[in-house]
Amino acid sequence: MTFKDHFSEAAEGYAAYRPSYPAALADFLAGAARRPGLAWDCGCGSGQLSVLLAERFDRVVASDASAEQLARASPHPRVEYRQAPEGASGLPDRCVDLAVAAQAAHWFDLPAYYAEVGRVARPQAVVALTVYNLAEVNDAVDRAIRRFYTDVLGRYWPPERRHVEANYASLLFPFEPIAAPPLEMRATWTLAHFIGYVRTWSAVISLEKQEGPGPMEVLRRELEPRWGGAGAAREVRWPLTVRAGRV
């Protein structure tokens, strides 16, 4: 099995520092589904969305191609984690009420994924792709992060990142659309947690392989006074885009 693996080596940090999804996202997805039977969370990572869905569906199958990500996934009695690529879930035909991919679809072989969705989905099941872009803290922090994102990380971003920057509007989505409400993710973090999160970015992983920890230390020093001190807790926000449709 081969896949574009940008995160296995950062799986521990991904589980520790990636933000959680809002309950409102799971509520919307469950409300759009015709029945609360089986949800398939593809590209689940360490299960940030899977466990939320398990509170609203009878069963969740959460799949990821990375064994390292799955090894750090959050356990839940109604979540079954399995290592599988996006085009081969191992699920039976016509059993899924919701197929969702959260912050993952830009890495997929989309034709293979959509073919698998078509095979496993019940008629009129919901399919949803969710994506969040750059974090927002305050004007001073946001300006520094945008400069770092563009000027320091620019050449290290994989080409698939353009789909995130477009909030998935550039991805093929051949399904009858369902309107999603405005959503956002929120967290209250110290600067250390925020820096840990930035270190999970695929471009930062590549940057540190080439240049070591120096650029991230420069960023930390730049952000500290803008953050209000290393020990200060700040609200971090991510606007969340959902492309939802019916199979």
**Residue 16 — very low, low, confident or very high, per pLDDT cuts 50/70/90?**
confident
Percent of the chain with pLDDT over 70: 94
So what's the pLDDT on residue 53?
98
Q: How many residues would you count in the chain?
A: 247
Q: Which two tokens stand for residue 145?
A: 């992060």
Name the residue range of residue 130's domain. Answer: 8-246
Can you tell me the mean pLDDT for 110-118?
A: 97
- DSSP, res 92: P
Q: What is the mean pLDDT of residues 5-12?
A: 52
**Pairing outcome for strands 176-178 and 183-189:** unpaired
* Coil vs helix vs strand at 170: coil
158: domain CATH number is 3.40.50.150
Domain contains 51: yes
Instruction: Tell me, yes or no, whether 1 lies in a domain.
Output: no
Average pLDDT of the residues in 111-121 = 98
* Structure tokens that stand for 40 in this block: 């398939």
pLDDT in tens, 138-185: 999 999 999 999 999 999 999 999 999 999 999 999 999 999 999 999
CB 180 within 8 A of CB 126: no
Whether pLDDT at 5 is above 60: no
Mean pLDDT of the chain: 93
Number of domains in the chain: 1
Long-range Cβ contacts of 78-87 (<8 Å, 24+ apart): 78/54, 79/47, 79/50, 79/51, 79/54, 81/44, 81/47, 81/50, 85/1, 85/3, 85/109, 85/112, 86/42, 86/43, 86/112, 86/113, 86/116, 87/112, 87/113, 87/115, 87/116
CA distance 103 to 88: 19
Which pLDDT band, with edges at 50, 70 and 90, does 18 fall under? confident
- Angle of helix 191-198 relative to helix 214-227, nearest 10 degrees, comes to 140
Residue 2 lies in a domain: no
User: Tokens at residue 129, please?
Assistant: 């792709």
Q: How many CB atoms lie within 10 A of CB 180?
A: 17
Question: Is residue 6 scored above 50 in pLDDT?
Answer: no
Within-domain flag for 120: yes
DSSP state of 202: H
Q: Is the pTM of this model over 0.85?
A: yes
C-alpha span between 206 and 204 (Å, rounded): 5
Query: Is residue 26 scored above 70 in pLDDT?
Result: yes
Does residue 150 form part of some domain? yes
Per-residue pLDDT at 1 exceeds 50? no
Residue 49 included in any domain = yes
Q: Which residues are paired to 231 by β-bridges?
A: none
C-alpha to C-alpha distance for 182 and 198, rounded to whole angstroms: 24
Residue 10, pLDDT above cutoff 60: no
* Confidence at residue 64, expressed as pLDDT on a 0 to 100 scale: 96
pLDDT tens profile 46-88: 999 999 999 999 999 999 999 998 999 989 999 999 999 999 9
Nearest Cα to 204, choosing from 189, 190, 214? 214
Q: What's the confidence (pLDDT) of residue 4?
A: 52
